[in-house]
């Protein structure tokens, strides 16, 4: 996927931020860090929200934008 604002010519791909592996839930950050395992998807969502808060990013700033997925 290329965004209109990209000037470097690189192709970027979207992927699901939350995933289930061997019965445990994980999430990944844009920086490539994997958080988990968690017993539920809700646990993974909560961990990602806390991670964003630690970075000084309000999760609502990210997930309330059009096209954003939780």
Structure confidence at residue 1 as a pLDDT band (50, 70, 90): very low
- Contact between residue 51 and residue 31 where contact means Cβ atoms under 8 Å apart: no
Q: Count the Cβ atoms, other than its own, within 10 Å of residue 12.
A: 9
pLDDT computed for residue 10 by the predictor? 59
Helix spans in 1-70 (H): 41-54, 59-63
Q: Does 27 have pLDDT greater than 60?
A: yes
Residues 6+ apart with CB under 8 A from 41: 18, 20, 25
pLDDT computed for residue 11 by the predictor? 53
pLDDT digits (tens, 9 = 90+) for 28-52: 998 889 999 999 999 999 999 999 8
Higher pLDDT, 67 or 35: 35
């Amino acid at each position: 996927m290329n965004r209109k604002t990209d000037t470097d010519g690189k192709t970027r791909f979207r992927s699901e931020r939350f995933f289930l592996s061997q019965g445990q839930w994980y999430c990944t950050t844009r920086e490539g860090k994997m958080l988990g395992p968690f017993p539920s998807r809700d646990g993974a969502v909560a961990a990602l929200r806390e991670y964003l808060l630690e970075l000084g990013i309000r999760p609502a700033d990210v997930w309330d934008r059009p096209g954003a997925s939780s």
